[in-house]
Amino acid sequence: MKCKTVVVNQVWASVSSGLVLSGLITVWGYPAAALPQLSLPSAPLLTPSQASWFTSVPMLICVPGSVLGGALTEQLGPRRLQLALSPVLALAFLGMPAAAWAGPPESNFPLAILIFCRIIQGLVVALLYPAVHIYPCEMADPQRRGTLGSLIQVWASAGYLMCYILGHFLSWISLAVILPMVTILPGFIGLAMAHESPLWLARQGKTEKAREVLGCLRVSAEEISSAICASVQAKNDRTHWQTLFQRPQRKMYFASILVSVMVFVMTQFTGQIVISANAVRIFQSAEVGLSPLLSSILVGTTRLTFCGMGSLLLYRVPRKTLLVVGNIVAGVALISVATFFFVQSRDYDTSGMNWLPLVSLMLYMVAFSIGIGPASSLLHVEVLPGPIRSVGSSVAATCFFASIFIVTKSFDDVEAALGLHSVFYAYSIGCIAFCILVICLVPETKDRSLEEIENIWKLKYGEHFQTESSNQLLPKISKNLI
């Protein structure tokens, strides 16, 4: 009975935070469904240049904003921060319909309302992005952390797919109202009934409260003792921005942040964001003949389905194995697509090969959804030591958003200069580079507690702290638990 209660509590926290994450992702997916209506030739609310700003403003805000997100996560707690900012994101969505009644488009009031709401949305996404990754990771025990932590990609995929499907049936006004109601609102209610991260509580010196929460999230007293021990050690070693690389642990911290950034950023240099956002355009260039709606829903459904499978695989398969295999399969798929467009660019008859881009891109999406996406979302948090988990996650998020901007901005330029085949060849090189870096630099984290993962870095870089060791702390904490 105790074990079942523990699992329910962990799943509840993960699902609640996941719903909030789906709400964050709808900020990016909303333009795909709303812009065709906002830019109707008969009554355009946005010009093409204004539509571009409508799409890109949140992403631009995310780059500097995510730096502050990690600091707020550590200051307020990942659950409390989500509770504080989720209503703000919902209000930013609910405020957009006011643009329809703000006056004629020539007055610029509709544009001002829409851009203001998009700026607020981008800021909330930036501030919450580290928290929605850290919270499930710190709530789960080592055995379930792989599955629950990797569900981040499932919730992200669900957010995109929700925009695609609902956008087909609803107006842009109704969509702005419905999206927060089905994602942010239930997530907020769930978090209100969930616990705060016990590891964050222990790092704040609230050991008794942390022990109480861990009693609902762990089965044995030994697990509780070990988790509190690791967090107390993290509290003693707590590091701030200004002293991050001035401490004796600077090599360990620098290496772990570097690996975290690498894992998170390299996912974008495999081209997934460009493929997801431009699937319709790519299919049209290949003359596949699918409608824009069917193309977007097909990509979104494939991603969501196989992300769920990837989360289940992380329960049994090592993280590095999933990343390596996923990158190999994705690289092969991208080379196939690139070769098709290369042959097409040389004016050869490709009518008998029109199936190849669709099959290859679906294979790519399967490889990304099963291996690359879930494993990287979890690993980039797991590899960070407790004292810098929030700081390191915010650095990774900042680099992540910057990489998305670089990849999406360069897509049109590279295609125009070198051809569409060059874009896909470049992404296949990104898969190869990612695979090599994972093999050489990334530690395996499966079935290891966060304390054990931190000890990997300590042993590797020979760090000797002036704080109490785990062996010294554990008897003291265990004695207090009796």
For 19-43, write each residue's pLDDT tens digit.
999 999 999 888 877 877 887 766 6
Lowest model confidence (mean pLDDT) among 294-308, 388-402, 413-427, 463-477: 463-477
The 10s digit of each residue's pLDDT in 10-20 is 889 999 999 99
User: For residues 106 and 77, what is the distance between their CA atoms, to the nearest angstrom?
Assistant: 44
**Percent over 70 (pLDDT), the chain:** 82
200-211 burial code (b ≥16 CB/10 A, e <16): bbbbbebbeebb
Torsion over CA: 327, 329, 332, 333 (sign): negative
Under CATH, what is the fold of the domain 249-448?
Growth Hormone; Chain: A; (1.20.1250)
- Asked if domains 1-194 and 249-448 share a fold, the reply is yes
pLDDT at residue 454 in the model = 83
The number of beta carbons lying within 10 Å of the beta carbon of residue 198 is 26
> Is 253 within 8 Å of 385 (Cβ atoms)?
yes
pLDDT at residue 359 in the model = 84
Reading the block at residue 281, the tokens are 């355009």
Under CATH, what is the fold of the domain 1-194?
Growth Hormone; Chain: A; (1.20.1250)
Helical H runs in 383-447? 389-418, 420-441
Q: Which of 146, 168, 164, 151 is nearest to 21 (CA)?
A: 151
For residue 387, what are the CA distances in angstroms to 232, 281, 362?
Answer: 10, 45, 40
Q: Which of 392, 432, 399 is nearest to 74 (CA)?
A: 392
The 10s digit of each residue's pLDDT in 293-332 is 566 677 677 777 787 777 778 778 888 999 999 999 999 9
User: For residues 26 and 23, what is the distance between their CA atoms, to the nearest angstrom?
Assistant: 5
How does the average pLDDT of the chain come out, rounded?
81
Q: Which of 240, 262, 195 is nearest to 439 (CA)?
A: 262
Torsion over CA: 108, 113, 119, 125 (sign): negative
pLDDT at residue 224 in the model = 65
pLDDT at residue 239 in the model = 46
pLDDT at residue 90 in the model = 96
For the chain, the domains span: 1-194, 249-448
Task: Give the mean model confidence (pLDDT) for residues 130-145.
Answer: 83
Q: With 60 as the cut, is the pLDDT of residue 140 above it?
A: yes
pLDDT at residue 220 in the model = 63
Reading the block at residue 41, the tokens are 């030739």
pLDDT at residue 295 in the model = 62
The 10s digit of each residue's pLDDT in 203-227 is 888 888 888 888 888 766 666 666 6
User: For residues 96 and 116, what is the distance between their CA atoms, to the nearest angstrom?
Assistant: 9
Q: Of residues 238 and 174, which shows the higher confidence score?
A: 174
